[in-house]
Structure 1
Amino acid sequence: MGVGGLGGYIGGRLAHSGQGVTFIARGQRLQAIRANGLHVRSPEDEFVVHPAHATDDPREVGPVDVVLFCVKTYDVPDAVARIAPLVGPQTAVLPIQNGVGHIEQLQRAVGQAAVLGGVAMLNAHSTAPNAFERPGGPHRLELGEIDGHSSPRCQAIVQALSEAGIDAHVMPNIQERMWWKFAGICGAGVFSVMRGSKGQIWGEPETHDLLRQAIAEAVAVANARGIPLAATLPDEAVQVFDTFPPPYKPSMLIDLEQGRRLELEALNGTLVRLGDEVSIPTPVNDFIYACLKPYANGRRKGTMDDRR
């Protein structure tokens, strides 16, 4: 559910490996998938899934084993309102999203027992309505029960993802891992403010320092809220960014360049608000949030960009 970069890429790999996958999509993307299938490209391989089963109506599908919930954070309320037909007594709902606020929204909609936690350490984006690409870098997906217990359903999901070529793992501390990813994405807001790919901006030590500071703020907020993130995380995150290929751009920068809505409120905006609640200053994230807020709803007609 949610056939953007991650949903299209992960769902495409699962379908290519032989899993029964239905894509919940709309508009031009739905038409393109129905007509031409899904085109998936990565450094390791390239393939087309055709035919691909796609619909805009979850009622046509009914209860499934697993719902991969991959919508953008600003689309969560609408998607949650449409998810009920997909969820039966044994269904697991696995959100693969940025941020940390969506778990409670899903639990309210489908019940606490159905919802898992998930973290994707892979960068994939849509290059056309039915085309999805991972340019390189990490290829890891983590998931787990929210309360940390081990479960057969998590093991089964990991097995299916592994057979699809994804480095998947069950994690007993998935909430901590979600905050780990949240901190890193907030730091990656530096790329959007600087309007550059890794190859364009990563050569400057000041860029590393700014990203470290943004992530250190997230660590301080997490610790104040009872999430035990390590003080070493900012340096570890820089090391992770070191492994990304020069063309790497975080998804928010890609959305910004293409004039689409940004997940700003669920990321840096949420961190700023959570910091205020526990009296932790977040000056770098305040700056990122302020710089990007004029673009949060996408490029507006009549702006200077449109008159050039």
Structure 2
Amino acid sequence: MTTRTGSTVAIIGPGAIGTAVAAALHEVGHTPLLCGRSSRDSLTLLDGDRRIVVPGPVRTDPAASADTVDLVFLAVKTTQTEAAAAWLTALSGPETVVCVLQNGVEQVESVAPHAPSGRVVPAVVWFPAQAQADGSVRLRGEPRLSLPDTATARVVAEVLQDTRCAVDLAADFNTLAWRKLLQNAVAGLMVLTHRRAGMFGRADIAGLAVAYLRECLAVARAEGADLGDEVAQAIVEKFQAYPADMGTSILTDREAGRPLEWEIRNGVIARRARQHGIPTPISDVVLPLLAAASDGPG
């Protein structure tokens, strides 16, 4: 679909984050093309008392897509990137920008092989959005993205200008990406306890979380992130300030019996740590437990 900038936009993966971005565009009259695994007539975003319905349909056949678009938002989980490759091929032309709305610090490396004709832009998603039992999505924060300050990323910022989804163009994107990765990594503890944000109110869990984050922080710094000692405590305090029932996408996947994004949220930290010779005793316990949880029951 065409935006006010004249750019055509598609969203691959109309889940929680994809629905939030689609709603932001639809509100200002720029309804995107919706692409996914399951056909749906529309998407619904709940924001407080507001209900925003984004008209579909959600298209399910990449082979039926005749035209490439100027901008693709890739909003599938990293565990689903390979399955979305046909959509990336169908929608990407030589000048197509692919904005990756996924977790992790390896977005470009993981997506570029599936979008050889596109220009890949990594993003940090700073807002929580949760899928509801009825298929709608509940927005639980102001939508905001951080992108690297590049000419390609400015294409994304232009399209989202004047929408509810704010965009920051960051000179030090690496630091922001690692800070978000640390937040995602400690959320993995919620999978191992089957608990939501309320668990961080326990002194023992808060202490474990801070210790794990300090371990992760050493790796982030070795990777060039400019993060101070206060970051570990600040992240835990952020979880403590959330509503007690606030979940996370990796916990939602665990509850639904789906494969977990443990490798790009937690495994990458241990992997990079080995490259730098940094010991990770807490990761060495957390990782096999998350991997086993991802395998499913039995």
* TM bucket normalised to smaller: 0.7 to 0.9
CA contact (8 A) 1:76 1:102 kept: no
Report the secondary structure of 1:247's partner residue.
coil
Alignment correspondent of 1:226: 224
Q: 2:122 matched to 1:117?
A: yes
Whole-Å separation in 2 of the counterparts to 1:174 and 1:65? 23
The 10-residue stretch of structure 1 (251-260 or 101-110) with the greater mean CA deviation from structure 2: 101-110
Pairing 1:229-268 to 2, within 5 Å after superposition? 229-268=227-266
Cα contact 2:94–2:118 (8 A) shared by 1: no
- TM-superposed CA distance for 1:105, in Å, is 2.7
8 Å CA contact 1:62–1:86 kept in 2: the answer is yes
| Candidates 75, 80, 88, aligned match of 2:85 | 80
Q: Is the 8 A contact 1:137 1:243 kept in 2?
A: no
Aligned mates of 1:49, 1:175 — CA distance in 2: 33
State how far apart, in whole Å, the 1-side matches of 2:24 and 2:169 are. 19
Among 57, 62, 77, the residue aligned to 1:58 = 62
Change (3 A) 1:128 1:62: farther
Match for residue 212 of structure 1 among 210, 232, 250? 210
Among candidates 87, 92, 106, match of residue 111 of structure 2: 106
What is the aligned partner in structure 2 of residue 270 from structure 1? 268
Q: 1:289 to 1:230 in 2, by over 3 A?
A: same
Aligned to 1:283: 281
> Cα deviation per residue 1:196-252 (whole Å; 9 max; x = unaligned)?
1123x1221222222222222222112223333333221221233244222211111
Note the residue ranges of structure 1 that are not aligned, 5 or more in a row: 304-308
Q: Taking structure 1 as reference, are residues 291 and 138 closer, same or farther at Cα in structure 2, changes over 3 Å only?
A: farther
Pick aligned residue for 2:143 from 118, 121, 139: 139
Residue 24 (structure 1) aligned to one of 10, 35, 44: 35
The residue that corresponds to 2:184 in the other structure is 185
Deviation string for 1:93-147 (max 9, x for gaps)?
110111122311323443597111201111112225742122x245322122xxx
Query: Is contact 1:212-1:235 (8 Å) kept?
Result: yes
Asked if the contact 2:95–2:117 (Cα under 8 Å) also holds between the matched residues in 1, the reply is no
TM-align CA RMSD: 2.4
Q: Secondary structure at the match of 1:49?
A: strand
State which of 48, 52, 56 in structure 1 corresponds to 2:53: 48
Shift of 1:16: 3.3
Provide structure 2 residue ranges, at least 5 long, that are not aligned to the other structure: 1-11
1:306 maps to: none
Does the 8 A contact of 1:15 with 1:49 survive in 2? yes
Secondary structure of 1:226's aligned partner? coil
Conserved in 2, the CA contact under 8 Å of 1:21 and 1:53?
A: no
Contact 1:4–1:70 at 8 Å: present in 2 too?
yes
Indicate the percent of aligned positions where both proteins have the same amino acid. 26
* Aligned structure 1 segments of 4 or more residues deviating by more than 4 angstroms: none
Contact 2:267 2:287 in 1 (8 A): yes
Which residue identity does 2:180 align to in structure 1? Answer: K
Q: Give 1:84-95 correspondences, 5 Å limit.
A: 84-95=89-100
3-state SS in 2 of match to 1:83: helix
CA separation in 2, counterparts of 1:44 and 1:158?
28
